[in-house]
């Protein structure tokens, strides 16, 4: 089987309260495909963190989840401010989230590290002033 399936989601940057919806939708679709619960959870967490990041920092963006025979890929793309120092951003506890966001319990500096922890692969492509594309994958085997 060489076919793959793509689930596309638009992440609304205006509405903080709707963040996390794509992650719930992905979970439902992966359950329908019979993906093992632990992998569903990994994908769901990575998606959720990615969504929150796009809402906090980039004014929204889009997310594609591509399921194929051997892996699930997640591609998160935004046209936000970009990440100046990717290495620094990957450090646990480092965050550039504004206080207004932190007061809601977000912006603990765990988003990117969490995504890396639950995924088998992760690359960040970011250009300051242009935007960020994160590609992640978890293997199915």
Partner 1 sequence: MFKHSVELDVSKCTGCTTCIRHCPTEAIRIREGRAVINDDRCIDCGECIRVCPNKAKKAMCSKFEHYTHYKWKIALPAPALYGQFDGLDDVDAVLQGLIDIGFDDVFEVASAAELVTEYTRLYLKTEGIKKPVISSACPAVVRLISLRYPYLRDNIMPILPPIEIAAMLARKKAKEEHPEFDDGDIGIFFISPCAAKVSYIRNGFGDYKSKIDVVVSLKDIYFMLMGVMKNETSPKVSSKAGMIGIAWASSGGEASAILNDKYLAADGIENINKVLDAIENGNIPQLEFVELNACPGGCVGGVMTIENPYIARTRLQSVRRYLPVSLNRLPSDMHYIPESVVCSSLPTYTPISRLSESFSESMRMMAEIQRIRETLPGIDCGACGSPSCRAFAEDIVRGTASLDKCCVLVNSPKTETEETQ
* 108-117, long-range: CB < 8 A, 24+ apart: 110/49, 111/49, 111/50, 111/52, 111/53, 112/49, 112/53, 114/45, 114/46, 114/49, 115/45, 115/46, 115/49, 115/50, 116/90
Q: Which is nearer to partner 1, 37 or 98 (CB)?
A: 37
Of the pair 41, 79, the CB lying nearest partner 1 is at 41
Q: What residue ranges bind partner 1 (CB under 8 A)?
A: 1, 3, 5, 20, 23-24, 27-29, 31-34, 37-38, 40-41, 44-45, 48, 67, 69, 114
User: Which CB sits closer to partner 1, 8 or 130?
Assistant: 8
């Amino acid at each position: 089987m060489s076919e793959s399936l793509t689930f596309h989601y638009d992440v609304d940057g205006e509405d903080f309260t709707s963040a996390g919806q794509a992650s719930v939708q992905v979970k439902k679709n992966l359950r329908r495909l019979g993906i093992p619960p632990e992998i569903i959870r990994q994908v769901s967490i990575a998606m959720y963190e990615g969504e929150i990041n796009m809402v906090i920092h980039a004014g929204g963006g889009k997310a594609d989840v591509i399921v194929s025979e051997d892996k699930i890929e997640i591609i998160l793309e935004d046209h936000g401010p970009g990440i100046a120092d990717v290495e620094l951003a990957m450090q646990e506890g480092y965050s550039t989230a504004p206080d207004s966001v932190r007061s809601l319990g977000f912006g603990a500096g765990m988003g990117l590290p969490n995504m890396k922890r639950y995924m088998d692969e992760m690359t960040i492509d970011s250009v300051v002033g242009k935007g960020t594309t994160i590609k992640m994958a978890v293997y199915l085997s």
